[in-house]
């Protein structure tokens, strides 16, 4: 018996989609909260200004969510990314999103393993400016993917 091969859909099932959204919201939110606490919510300490007690927890959550995003990206590669690429759908926004996620992964790695006084002025900026812009790229990708191409067929008399 020959069963025809049905093409895999590009869109995610609802549960998968909501899990992806949750991971990205937690990743972005924890990074934005760390940024806010680190730069704007300092507290008085024994020897002057000190880090807010919650700052380290936002950073820990951000690191955990970075691992979760790597799993999420891996879950999107086999069907969503591969299939859309072969169908030539949403390539520009998808490639932009992929490059941004790669950039954030590399700069996050660099912040964790190579942060020093010499690069403290510029290395964090490379990460958090791109990180703050991530929702824009993600929304653009989703919007372009949901957009339907309509073909105009004039009615002849």
pLDDT digit string, tens, across residues 64-86: 999 999 999 999 998 898 988 89
Q: Is the pLDDT of residue 153 over 90?
A: no
pLDDT of residue 99: 96
For the chain, what are the domain ranges? 14-147
pLDDT digits (tens, 9 = 90+) for 97-122: 999 999 999 999 999 999 899 999 99
Q: How far is residue 153's CA from residue 90's CA, in Å, rounded to a whole number? A: 24
| 6 vs 142: which has the higher pLDDT | 142
Q: How far is residue 60's CA from residue 40's CA, in Å, rounded to a whole number? A: 19
Q: Is the pLDDT of residue 151 over 50?
A: no
Q: Is the pLDDT of residue 48 over 90?
A: no
Average pLDDT, the chain: 88
Percent of residues, the chain, with pLDDT higher than 90: 62
Q: Is the pLDDT of residue 152 over 60?
A: no
């Amino acid at each position: 018996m020959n069963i025809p091969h049905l093409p895999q859909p590009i869109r995610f099932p609802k549960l998968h989609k909501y899990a992806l959204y949750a991971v990205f919201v937690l990743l972005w939110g924890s990074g934005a909260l760390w940024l806010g606490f680190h730069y704007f919510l300092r507290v008085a300490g024994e020897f002057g200004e000190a880090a807010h007690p919650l700052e380290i927890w936002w950073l820990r959550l951000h690191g955990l969510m970075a691992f979760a995003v790597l799993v999420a990206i891996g879950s999107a590669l086999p069907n969503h990314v591969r299939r859309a690429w072969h169908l030539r759908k949403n390539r520009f926004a998808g490639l932009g999103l992929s490059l941004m996620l790669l950039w954030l992964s590399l700069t996050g790695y660099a912040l964790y393993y190579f942060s020093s006084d010499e690069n403290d002025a510029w290395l964090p900026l490379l990460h958090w400016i791109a990180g703050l812009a991530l929702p824009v790229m993600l929304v653009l990708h989703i919007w372009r993917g949901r957009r339907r191409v309509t073909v105009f067929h004039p009615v002849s008399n």
